[in-house]
Amino acid sequence: MALNTSCNFPAIFNFGDSNTDTGADSAAFSLITQPNGETFFHMPAGRPSDGRLTIDFMAERIGLPYLSAYLDSLGTNFVHGANFAVSGATIRPSNKSRTGGGPSPFYLDVQLSQFQQFKTRSQLIRNKGGIYSNLLPKEESFDQALYTFDMGQNDIGLGFFTNQSPEEVKAVIPDVITKFSKNVQAVYNLRGRSIWIHNTAPIGCLAYILTNFPVNESEIDKAGCATPYNEVSQYFNQKLKEAVVELRKQLPLAAITYVDIYSIKYLLISQAQEFGFQQPLVACCGFGGKYNYSNTARCGQTVVVDGKPVFIGSCADPSVRVSWDGSHFTEAANKFVVDQIATGKYTDPPITLQNACNRNSSST
């Protein structure tokens, strides 16, 4: 049984990719435009979704404000934490540039370096006093904070988009996981003790994979997902869970929670109608093809059809859709994910987010 002592986390520090990016990529590179943000924020809010992301719902459950992106210099308040996640980020660095179709330059090592600087400089600024001191976390908040990780999907996707076979992508996963573990150890060395790790989603159920990598009918499962690609996600998750077991041995003072995001998302996609959702594989905001997704006509862009400009907007009701734009979830789907996390059924140890500071011997 998990302990029931509520942790009262004063802050969250998040590391990740677009699944939890609350504005970094939009601030650093290209502004996220309408219709993103339409459901909750009623305007683009730096998130690749119609509304809130999982990290937003997690902050709500802990009773904290939404996290400001570390890279967003305008109107940011870091008292209750900071978000280092950036869309397109990978765990391992890549030699492909972002402009050349590669991942974000803000891979996990860089995010960790930014956190280290943030921790040091925030206290220097607080000690000086002045108007900025009230926008930064107290020193004790770093020890008491929740540290969340949600990365890996782009490491897998990048392999596919550089023409690697599923077996070739699998071959590099152990090295990816080793690099991930080193960053968790670095957070621990910086006195991070409550560590919350999401595994990766069933990538073979996402429109951007299904559109770009057609597979044989025999390789499509009952949910309509591409089995060879999902098997790579499952292998990643297997290696990640093994790493978490080792990290618990190496970091005895840490409370490390492993969260099975894969199973939650596959449950939603494979049984969408039971949960009030429709067309789980089809993008709500997209254009063309079986999955309403195209590499050249993305959500929020304008394309020319029969000589006339057509704005690519959202579907009639995003609240009953799972896929927002072919690679990210809708707000409704993100809320479903966090509601399932809250049951404790998909966490190891079986613990709620609010109790994630409690070390538990029943974890495996």
Which residue out of 18, 87, 104, 323 is catalytically annotated? 18
Residue 42 annotated among the catalytic residues of the structure = no
Residue 18 annotated among the catalytic residues of the structure = yes
Residue 214 CA to residue 293 CA, distance in Å, equals 13
For 29, phi then psi, to 5°, come to -125, -85
Q: What type of residue sits at position 229?
A: Y
**Whether the Cβ atoms of residue 319 and residue 49 lie closer than 8 Å to each other:** no
> Residue 276: exposed, middle, or buried by beta-carbon count in 10 A (0-12, 13-18, 19+)?
exposed
Quick one: tokens of 13?
Answer: 């520090």
Closest CA to 77 of 89, 87, 58, 64: 64
Quick one: tokens of 233?
Answer: 């996600």
Q: Which DSSP state fits 168?
A: H
| Cα–Cα distances in angstroms (integers) from residue 272 to residues 76, 275, 282, in the given order | 37, 5, 12
> Residue 308: exposed, middle, or buried by beta-carbon count in 10 A (0-12, 13-18, 19+)?
exposed
**Whether the Cβ atoms of residue 258 and residue 245 lie closer than 8 Å to each other:** no
Q: Which DSSP state fits 97?
A: -
Residue 80 annotated among the catalytic residues of the structure = no
Which residue out of 56, 155, 260, 325 is catalytically annotated? 325
Place of tokens 């939009």: 26
Which residue out of 56, 72, 122, 328 is catalytically annotated? 328
Closest CA to 333 of 79, 25, 39: 39
Find the helix or strand (DSSP H, E) in which 188 lies: helix 166-189
Q: What type of residue sits at position 81?
A: G
Just list the catalytic residues. 18, 325, 328
